[in-house]
Amino acid sequence: MPLRLAIIGTGFIAQYHVRPDADPAQSLFPDGEAEFVAVVDVVEERARAFAEKYGIARYYTDADEMLAREKPDIVNVATPPALHASMAIKAMEAGAWVMCEKPLCSSLRELDAIADAEARTGNWCSSVFQFRFGSAARHLRRIIQDQVVGKLLVGTCHTTWFRDAEYYAVDWRGTWASELGGPTMGHGIHAMDSFLWQMGDWTEVRAMCATIDRGVEVEDTSSATVRFASGAMGNILNSVLCPHQSTYVRYDFQRGSAWTEGALYDLNNERWRFETLESVDDKTRERFQTIVDDLPCTHVVQLRELVADRLIGRQPLVSGPEARRTLEFITALYKSAYTGEKVERASIVPGDPFYESVGGSWAEAAKKGSSS
Ligand SMILES: NC(=O)c1ccc[n+]([C@@H]2O[C@H](COP(=O)([O-])OP(=O)(O)OC[C@H]3O[C@@H](n4cnc5c(N)ncnc54)[C@H](O)[C@@H]3O)[C@@H](O)[C@H]2O)c1
């Protein structure tokens, strides 16, 4: 029997959860290991049209009803951000594993509730971070772990995208309450997640945030310096003000550098460059430069891995503590920018406004401002 998949929220991003990567005629699961059986959207017409377009048997306007009737094995959550945690928890309680769009939740408190639901139900909630699933990311991970060209010393992670007034005209965007942050939480989160995963445990962050040129409540730019347990340092920039849109990520090792400049989301093999010092021998250089497979950074690649995980009961990559790494970092970045102080890992605990919401005091100040 194929695993039963369902998707909640059939807006813009949902198509990427169900669409095969390259050839639309190709099946998402050619070996029949899973199939989408239902979709949900509060806008009935959207749900109906989506189900029809992708040949999915049933559509609903209520997530609880869908969960009770369909009993899916995996639920993809693609609603606006503020609903993610509650949807993920109810799906796990109904017996499903979850692949939830980023940002996974709105606070460390919600993250703890998700972790609690994972422990209670025995089901896993995996955050969509498709950048970790391409072959280039897996290659880099091996290169770093095996120290092929020495230790990783310095990292750069820049998400410099462009989002204009039309983008912010969508009602849930631009506010702390519903978008949960600006480009730090919404856009740079992808590159930062893969970057923090590659660089290893972070220990402290110093940051600045500003709303320079968009009429929104959240930041439109953030910049951070981060220190890692290994002693390495990293530099992070997130902005939605940059007409030359790019995602630039770079890793500098003792004897070589690897970097990519992708157009937004496509940090795939062909975008990566690998250079070594001349003194590096040919065999080592070849290992450093040769990416074995050619899987792109897509939702579908992540979903296929999740299906394989569920079939053998293996914990998915971006769940549990791996989901915490990035959300805790972003929370610390916002806190550092607000307080002007460095923020250390594991220092944000219950009682801290930044534990209650990722935007912490920024979000509280915005709420006060809008009610006065
Ligand atoms: N991973 C990525 O690369 C990527 C890219 C873009 C957006 N996203 C994320 O995907 C999520 C959705 O973004 P989007 O651009 O598709 O938004 P969207 O507004 O186009 O779609 C959201 C959909 O959810 C539906 N919805 C709202 N409340 C619901 C409920 N209670 N039950 C069922 N459906 C409900 C809406 O009607 C809408 O159709 C956001 O969290 C966003 O940050 C991820």
CA 269 to chain centre: 19
Please report, for the domain that includes residue 107, its CATH number: 3.40.50.720
3-state secondary structure at position 120:
helix
Q: Output the CA 9–ligand 1 centroid distance in Å.
A: 6
Give residue for tokens 């410099």.
Answer: 160
> Quick one: 149 and 235 in the same domain?
yes
Give the pLDDT confidence score for residue 207 in this predicted structure. Answer: 98
C-alpha span between 365 and 372 (Å, rounded): 11
> Quick one: 76 and 150 in the same domain?
no
> Quick one: 136 and 282 in the same domain?
yes
Residue 192 lies in a domain: yes
Does the C-beta of 20 come closer than 6 Å to ligand 1?
no
CA 91 to chain centre: 19
Give the pLDDT confidence score for residue 25 in this predicted structure. Answer: 58
Total domain count for the chain?
Answer: 2
Q: Output the CA 3–ligand 1 centroid distance in Å.
A: 23
Atom of ligand 1 at shortest range from CA of 129: 1
Q: Output the CA 109–ligand 1 centroid distance in Å.
A: 22
> Quick one: 150 and 260 in the same domain?
yes
Torsion of CA 109, 112, 114, 117, to 10 degrees: -130
Residue 319 lies in a domain: no
Residue 193 lies in a domain: yes
Contact of 335 with 359, CB cutoff 8 Å: no
Domain boundary (263, 296, 329) is at 296
Atom of ligand 1 at shortest range from CA of 186: 43
Q: Ligand 1, residues 17, 40, 99, 101: which to mutate, most atoms within 8 A of Cβ?
A: 101
Q: Output the CA 133–ligand 1 centroid distance in Å.
A: 21
pTM of the model: 0.94
Q: Output the CA 122–ligand 1 centroid distance in Å.
A: 26
pLDDT in tens, 152-196: 999 999 999 999 999 999 988 999 998 999 999 999 999 999 999
Contact of 72 with 4, CB cutoff 8 Å: yes
> Quick one: 308 and 216 in the same domain?
no
> Quick one: 115 and 10 in the same domain?
yes
Does the C-beta of 78 come closer than 6 Å to ligand 1?
yes
Domain boundary (241, 265, 296) is at 296
User: CB under 8 Å to 260, separation ≥6 — which residues?
Assistant: 136, 247, 248, 249, 250, 267, 271, 272, 273
Residue 144 lies in a domain: yes
> Quick one: 169 and 108 in the same domain?
no
> Quick one: 264 and 144 in the same domain?
yes
* Regions in the chain scoring below 70 on pLDDT: 21-26, 371-372
Give the pLDDT confidence score for residue 24 in this predicted structure. Answer: 52
Domain boundary (261, 296, 331) is at 296
Residue 263 lies in a domain: yes
C-alpha span between 261 and 47 (Å, rounded): 36
Residue 182 lies in a domain: yes
Q: Output the CA 62–ligand 1 centroid distance in Å.
A: 15
> Quick one: 304 and 291 in the same domain?
no
Give residue for tokens 């995963």.
Answer: 197
298-to-36, 258, 268, 314 alpha-carbon distances in Å: 17, 21, 9, 21
Please report, for the domain that includes residue 166, its CATH number: 3.30.360.10
Residue 231 lies in a domain: yes
**3-state SS string for 55-111:** CCCEEECCHHHHHHHHCCCEEEECCCHHHHHHHHHHHHHCCCEEEECCCCCCCHHHH
Does the C-beta of 13 come closer than 6 Å to ligand 1?
yes
Order across the sheet with 3-8: list the strands: 58-60, 34-40, 3-8, 74-77, 97-100, 125-127
Q: Output the CA 78–ligand 1 centroid distance in Å.
A: 5
Instruction: Return the half-sphere exposure (C-beta side, CA atoms, 13 A cut-off) of residue 86.
Output: 7
Burial class (CB in 10 A: 0-12, 13-18, 19+), 31: exposed
Does the C-beta of 80 come closer than 6 Å to ligand 1?
yes
Torsion of CA 186, 187, 193, 199, to 10 degrees: -130
> Quick one: 137 and 120 in the same domain?
no
CA nearest ligand 1 atom 7, residue: 13
Residue 363 lies in a domain: no
DSSP 216: S
User: CB under 8 Å to 31, separation ≥6 — which residues?
Assistant: none
pLDDT in tens, 280-327: 999 999 999 999 999 999 999 999 999 999 999 999 999 988 989 999
> Quick one: 150 and 234 in the same domain?
yes
Does the C-beta of 10 come closer than 6 Å to ligand 1?
yes
Structure tokens at 21: 């990567």
> Quick one: 237 and 286 in the same domain?
yes
Print the domain residue range for 197: 132-296
